[in-house]
Structure 1
Amino acid sequence: MDARTTLLALAAAVLLAGAVGLVAAPDALDDPRDTTGPPGDVDLVDVVVEPGDVRGDTATLDLLADLEHDGSTVENVTVRHRAIGSDSGLLVDETVVEVGDVDRGGEMTMNGSVDVDRDGGYHLETVIYADGERQTERTTRIAGVSALTPTYADSNVGFSDGSVWPTIAVSVSEAGETEATLSISTAVTNRGDDLSDGLDLRVLLRQADSNVVADEATETVGSVRPGRTETVTTTVEVPDEYNYYVDAALFDDDVLIDETQDVANLDPQETIDANETVEDVGFAVEDFTQDEVADDLDDAPVRDVDEDDATVDDDTPGFGVVVAVAALLVATVVARRYR
């Protein structure tokens, strides 16, 4: 037997052995994954939004999507997040998270993020796909992104906001013929858990009518212990018999940390108040529903109409009862003539 004949014989033997193995073990080539259970399903249980890295003009919003799997393996699962401007309706950012095949029961959390501008609100759409087919989705509404503090300006030290103890206290320490020396005391609080680093306190006095800066001063704020409030005092000299806005700000390496305002009334004929037109806007996250307008209409109060009102509303415009009586008299006269 030559070599060619020998190789053909060996190949035939291998094919025969494979055929015998398939007959003996028919499940040898079956998919090892479970296909006997119910069809696989991936559902979106919840979406949690958290502020991430906050910069000067933009911010990163972290999205934690909780997925729930049931049944057999679901292949090629992806999570898509979109940020859409609430007012413009334009797509701002989009990210896709590749989950892959999901074959374990229970819940799992997939992290994603989108970058948005810090001016305006957004609708965050989260959609779950399985092998390219949309499974479920949820929309979350975000407002007040501008209220998020940038990372570089995040500090636990700021001006105190007590209801009785003043944040800024102004007193006249010395009065001359044309000028007055004012003592400006500010209350600074450490709301953190660690000893604070040194900060700079800057004070400006602006003449109320002209808005011209009359004087300014800078003081170093030493380390403040956790939970403590320190009083920092500085002095300025300004022309007498005028009213002034007192602007105070805390800086950390030329980064504005906090600011506040008060007044100094030196004009005996007129007084001014600190500006109180600043609106406090907070970062807000809520689920968005498409039926909000309809719900508002359903909740609108309905005015009860009594019988008297209904009678008045249904009356024919004009003379009303007078016209009806006149028509009755005319009909009576005509009837008597033809009797």
Structure 2
Amino acid sequence: MDTRITLLAIAAAVVLAGAVGIVAVPDALDDPRAETDRPGQVGLVDVVVAPGEVRGETATLDLLVDLEHRGSTVENVTVRHRAIDADSGLLVDETTVDVGTLDREGETTVNGSLDVEREGGYRLETVVYVDGERRGERTTRVAGVSALTPSYADSPVEFADGNVWPTVAVSVAETTEETATLSVSVSVTNRGDDASEEIDLRLLLRQAESNVIADEATETVGSVRPGRTDTVTTTLEAPDGYNYYVDAALFDDDVLIDETQGVANLDPQETIAANETVRDVSFEVEDFSEETGDDALREEGETRPDGEDGSTDDGTPGFGVAVALAGLLAATLLARRAS
């Protein structure tokens, strides 16, 4: 028999045997990856914390949880969040998000939130449950919540902060015998992406030693283009010869946005610097009262009319008359003894 005929007969026999095997085992060609009866798995991949609404005393922390699902459909999935005070360990807030059913493989993002006070730090605990059974957990720590700016105080305009260019520049515009008129220029910067709306600039001229407000003014800061610095100028008037703090603040609808301080040194004998501790000095009303004629003389160190300052014309102390009387009395006694 020809060798080629023999090989063809053997190959045909092998193909026939394979076909018989496939018929006998119909599931032999099924893809093992097509299994649908394996149990579903849910895992916690990541937790991201972002600031939400920020109010005066409290703030909302938004939590974005990434869940990973593999296998068959998983029902009754929940995510629980807890905020625990980092110092006291007390529970501050708790919330549970009902995820429901996960029937699509891959990752799913679940949103949640917690409300905390704007102070201290917190430990945020996130746990994933399936039918009440814990499947994954993650702990995140946050601090510096007090640094979050409340929504009502969120403004792109703030005082300029340069190394050379002064934020508050003060110059003397005019002086009289008793008062000085100051020209105050304040620089503000828009650090946002859009032009700002109008806000108020309020200034207080405060006497350094007594903290008495000598004068105040309010000016409107117009719209400032993004990235630009504008200067607002106004005048203040106060008694001359004293040192003053110039307190400046930005207000948006009576909400304090930013504050800074400058100085006006009008006392040639002593100077002050901005943002330093004010000395505790007792307040004297006469510091801001008109001086009378006699008071002015005493301030200049002039002498009173003869006899009013307790001294004699020859410069001897004011008790010279008493010494003379004592001498006369002693002479009289001596004369009587001699007689």
Query: What's the TM-score, normalizing by structure 2?
Result: 0.68
Specify the alignment match of 2:240 in structure 1: 240
Partner of 1:211: 211
1:129 alignment partner in structure 2: 129
Query: How far off is 1:34 after superposition?
Result: 6.5
How far did residue 162 of structure 1 move?
A: 2.0
Equivalent runs, 1:312-331 vs 2, <5 Å: none
Contact 2:190 2:228 in 1 (8 A): yes
CA distance in structure 2 between the partners assigned to 1:34 and 1:127 by the alignment:
29
User: How far 1:175 sits from its partner (Å)?
Assistant: 2.0
Q: Structure 1 residue 89 and structure 2 residue 63: aligned?
A: no
Offset at residue 195 of structure 1 (A): 2.2
Q: Sequence identity, in percent? A: 77
- Residue 117 of structure 1 is matched in structure 2 by 117
Aligned equivalent of 2:180: 180
Secondary structure at 1:65's aligned position in 2? strand
Q: Is 90-99 or 249-258 further displaced after alignment?
A: 249-258
Query: What's the secondary structure of 2:83's corresponding residue?
Result: strand
Structure 1: segments with no counterpart, 5+ residues: 1-32, 278-339
Which residue is equivalent to 1:11? none
C-alpha distance in 2, partners of 1:218/1:35?
Answer: 74
**1:160 offset after TM fit, Å?**
1.3
Alignment match, 2:74 = 74
Measure how far apart 1:119 and its partner are. Answer: 1.8
Contact 1:34-1:72 within 8 A present in 2 as well: no
Counterpart Cα distance in 2 of 1:187 and 1:156:
14
Question: Secondary structure in 1 aligned to 2:152?
Answer: helix
Q: Is the 8 A contact 1:181 1:238 kept in 2?
A: yes
1:36 equivalent in alignment to 2:37: yes
CA distance in 2, matches of 1:261, 1:67: 51
TM-score by length of 1: 0.68
Structure 2 Cα separation of the partners of residues 262 and 41 of structure 1: 64
Residue by residue over 1:236-259, the C-alpha shift from the partner in whole angstroms, topping out at 9 and shown as x without a partner, is 011222222211111112121211
Aligned to 2:256: 256
The equivalent of 2:195 in structure 1 is 195
**CA root-mean-square deviation:** 1.8
Residues of 2 paired with 1:40 and 1:163: CA distance?
Answer: 62
Q: Which runs of 5+ in 2 are unaligned?
A: 1-33, 278-339
Check the 8 A contact 1:68/1:106 in 2, yes or no: yes
Q: Measure how far apart 1:274 and its partner are.
A: 1.9
What is the alpha-carbon distance in structure 1 between the residues aligned to residue 246 and residue 222 of structure 2? 22
Please identify runs of 4+ aligned residues in structure 1 that moved more than 6 A: none
- With 239-248 and 55-64 compared, the bigger mean Cα shift is at 239-248
Larger of the two Rg values belongs to structure: 2
**Distance (whole Å) between structure 2 residues aligned to residue 89 and residue 269 of structure 1:** 56
| Distance in structure 2 (CA, Å) of the matches to 1:177 and 1:238 | 12
Matched, 1:46 2:30: no
- Please list the CA deviations of residues 206-241 of structure 1 after superposition, one character each: whole Å capped at 9, or x if unmatched: 112112212111111112122211100011011222
Q: Distance in 1 between matches of 2:182 and 2:273?
A: 18
**Is the CA contact (8 Å cut-off) linking 2:36 and 2:71 kept in structure 1?**
no
Output the CA distance in 2 between the equivalents of 1:260 and 1:226: 21
Give the match's secondary structure for 1:146.
Answer: helix
SS in 2 for 1:152: helix
Aligned partners of 1:276 and 1:124: how far apart in 2? 40
Contact 1:34–1:73, Cα closer than 8 Å, also in 2: no
> Does structure 2 retain, via aligned residues, the 8 Å contact 1:189–1:229?
yes
Considering Cα pairs closer than 8 Å and 6+ residues apart, tell me whether 1 or 2 has the greater RCO: 1
Q: After TM superposition, give the deviation of residue 81 of structure 1 in Å.
A: 0.7
Secondary structure of residue in 2 paired with 1:77: strand
* Aligned residues between the structures: 244
Amino acid at match of 1:56: G
Alignment of 1:266-281 (within 5 A): 266-275=266-275
Structure-2 separation of matches of 1:229 and 1:207: 29
Give the match's secondary structure for 1:264: strand
AA matched with 1:36: D
2:219 and 2:274 map into 1 onto residues whose CA distance is 22
Provide the C-alpha distance between the structure 2 equivalents of 1:78 and 1:201, rounded to a whole number of angstroms: 51
Question: Does the 8 Å contact 1:194/1:225 carry over to 2?
Answer: yes
For residues 113 and 202 of structure 1, what CA distance do their matches in structure 2 show? 38
Q: Deviations over 1:170-211 (max 9, x none)?
A: 111112222211111111112223222211110012112112
